[in-house]
Amino acid sequence: MKISGILVYILVLVFMVAGPGSGEVTTQMGVVGAGNVYTTGSIFVESSPPGASALLDGGVDQLVTPGTFGSVIPGLHTVQVTKPGYQPSSQNIDVRIGARSNLIMTLVQITDSGGIFVRSDPRGADLYIDGLFLGTTDQTVGGLAPGPHSVKMKTAGYLEWTETVVVESGRIAKVTAKLIQERSASTGDIRVTSSPPGSSVYVDGNYMGVIPPDETLDITDLNPGSYLIVFRKSGYIDYSTTTAIEAGKVVQIDATLRPGGSTPAGANAEIVSNPGGADVYINGQFLGITPLFFQNVTPGTYTVELKMDGYVPYSSSGQAAAGQDIEVIANLAPLAPVTLAPTTEVAPISIAGVLAGVTGYLFVSGKYRAGRSRGDKK
């Protein structure tokens, strides 16, 4: 992904005309909804400070802390907690039938943020910073607190790459990684796509991630065996398939989801920005950071705002109709031009004005790991 332009512009914005009125963003679909204590569990989420936005499984449900996600199907799930001015945090949590799982998260306040520019060979690797999925490489991620951050890149057929990168105030750390192909691997991988995109993917009941627009989702390091893969998206019938994993092999699954029999009650929304990690406000309410995915959004009029230190804020309004898939893909323009240093040497990255005199750092080595992921057979 590249930063370009002086003005903020939007690449894709589809808001289908609906009836008058406005609404709160409501996300209840897939892993939550119909169910009772005999078939589902719950997750209680508390944060310090309170009043943070908590997202379940990439956006199938949302609440403001403290609060409880109810009627959650058993299995491994991911809760992401964000609040303006604080470092986002993400944690996996296991849900059991009839039980309440408790999650207490302490957020770290950001005083003067920095960023990381990440490049990989090959491009298109799934990028995680501090456990949060932030899209694919190459891209810049901003709004990071000064201090160490865990950077992870993975793509099917390659060893997972990890590194601890130190971010400094007003500086952009530059990470370049050459991924290494797996040789004589004892595990296998799955590469998934869906039409439409934005599906939540589960392996044997465990949440693996959301398929971003025009991208794939790689599920790596699965032990040989048979797995049930389920794709879920509001307004569509679940797509399920069983696949066999072999050591050293990559299985490609392209899922085409069919619309449900009845008219969907809400819309689906996908909000992506470059740089990633921008604060997202909908109708003035903070709901998380990009990339952000919502299912079963109540029809109505919405204003989407994206904000990040050092960049021109983005704002656009429109209407969402039941059954529509909305994509918002926006490039945020820096307050002044950004010059990226060559990848082969340490050189300054200059952002005049807010980030004047920024210095880049080059990390050419990392840690490579081949091991089990959360969807593996024991």
Instruction: Name the architecture of domain 25-109.
Output: Sandwich (2.60)
pLDDT, mean of residues 363-378: 37
- At residue 243's C-alpha, the angle toward residues 239 and 245, to 5°, is 145
- Give DSSP secondary structure letters for 42-99: EEEEEEESSS-EEEETTTTEEEESSEEEEEEPSEEEEEEEE-TTB--EEEEEEE-TT-
Tens digits of residue pLDDT in 175-205: 999 999 988 889 999 999 999 888 899 999 9
Q: What topology is assigned to 1-23+266-334 in CATH?
A: Immunoglobulin-like (2.60.40)
Among residues of the chain, what percentage have pLDDT more than 70?
Answer: 78
Third-level CATH fold of 188-256: Immunoglobulin-like (2.60.40)
Query: Cβ of 324: how many Cβ atoms within 10 Å?
Result: 20
Amino acid identity, residue 198?
G
How do residues 252-269 score in pLDDT, each as one tens digit? 999 999 988 777 778 888
CA distance 175 to 343: 9
Whether this model's pTM surpasses 0.75: no
Residues of the chain with CATH 2.60.40.1120: 25-109, 188-256
Task: Output the pLDDT for position 213.
Answer: 76
The yes-or-no verdict on residue 315 having pLDDT over 70 is yes
DSSP 249: -
Mind listing the pLDDT tens digit for each residue in 210-227? 988 778 899 999 999 999
Per residue in 142-168, pLDDT (tens digit) is 888 899 999 999 999 999 999 999 998
Compute CA distances 249 → 123, 186, 222, 225, 244, whole Å. Answer: 20, 10, 10, 12, 10
Q: How far apart are CA 141 and CA 290, in angstroms?
A: 10
Nearest to 25 by CA among 269, 210, 232: 269
Written as six digits, the tokens of 335 are 């307050």
Q: CA–CA separation, 241 vs 190, rounded Å?
A: 12
**65 band by pLDDT with thresholds 50, 70 and 90:** very high
Q: How confident is the model at residue 52 (pLDDT cuts 50, 70, 90)?
A: very high
| Residue burial 185-220, b: 16+ Cβ < 10 Å; e: rest | bebbbbbbbbebbbbbbbbbebbbbbbbbeebbbbb
Q: How do strand 300-307 and strand 314-320 relate by DSSP bridges?
A: antiparallel
